[in-house]
Amino acid sequence: MTISRRKFLAGSGIALTGSRLTRHALAAENEIKVGYHAITWGDNVDQAINEISELGFRGIQIRRADYEKYAGRVSEFKDLLAAKKLTVVSISTGNVTIKPETGKQELEDRLKMAKWMKDIGGLYLQATDGARAKVGVNDLDDFKNLGRRLTEIGKRTFGEHGIKLGFHNHMNNLGERREEFDRIMEATDPKHVWALLDIAHMQAAGGDPVKLTRDYIDRLIYPHFKDVVIHPSGPAGLDGKPPRPKYDFVELGQGRVNIPAVLQIMKDYRFKGWIIIELDKSPTGRTPKESAAISKKYVEEKLKLKV
């Protein structure tokens, strides 16, 4: 699955002069747009919309609960977005499971969200999974079944409404670890399910977010730019298994994720589209807007991207 830097540069038609990209490729950097996730504000989505716009971001990701608040108020929400000059990049739609009895509802829910996104001029849907076994371990069929369900959803949301589905790696889910994420993605149809890479969740799970980005760059719908501090968690237990990692998500530049290296892969590949900055909760003593301003400063001063 690994795509070498030179291979994907060659495949995408980028010419190299020495170690530098051509001016045409460098100009593509300006086609990377930066948005922010409303999750930090919790249930205060209207405040999130106002403050994300005030900071200059032009894209926003919202939660399922935010969508439900405005599900029957399309015109009102479109007017609000227009006034704040915001695009809804994505909805966090929640977990997809492998339970036979919930499959129909999980599909129908996301078809409704896809239609709503089309109506407001939104772009994508995000899906996480709720398929990890609560007792014991999952067998290989669980990964295949999840991949099939994701494919069914993505095929319908795109085919009927033009809205692509991205699968998000997430701590405590079946797709948490790199090898698990790979199994799920290999069980999906790449025409209908895209990779929504969360680089901090992969770091917390013990993986390499830079390698993850390189390997999935050709299926990347958009990434979550996120940072994490990982705390020492002690020795292995009596069963020999390492303890669960202890971690805190933090503003960009405050943790250990090699964010510049991830961005460089995207630039080299001439990625065009959105980056969404995400922070689940502001550290004690800071407001969501203050945290967003810290990440914005990092993006503009360290990553040299204009918000």
- Tens-place pLDDT, residues 66-122: 999 999 999 999 999 999 999 999 999 999 999 999 999 999 999 999 999 999 999
The three-state secondary structure class of 229 is strand
* CB-based contacts of 93, cutoff 8 Å, min separation 6: 64, 109, 110, 113, 125, 126, 127
- Give dist(CA 294, CA 186) in Å, integer: 37
- CATH architecture for the domain at 5-231+243-301: Alpha-Beta Barrel (3.20)
Boundaries of every domain in the chain = 5-231+243-301
Amino acid identity of residue 65, one-letter, is A
Mean pLDDT of the 11-19 span: 41
pTM of the model: 0.88
Provide the pLDDT for residue 141.
97
Provide the pLDDT for residue 191.
97
Structure tokens at 113: 């969200």
- Give dist(CA 108, CA 292) in Å, integer: 34
Question: Exposed (0-12), middle (13-18) or buried (19+): which is 148, by Cβ within 10 Å?
Answer: middle
Provide the pLDDT for residue 10.
47
Flag whether pLDDT at 11 surpasses 60: no
- The number of helices, as runs of H, and strands, as runs of E, in the chain is 12, 12
Flag whether pLDDT at 156 surpasses 90: yes
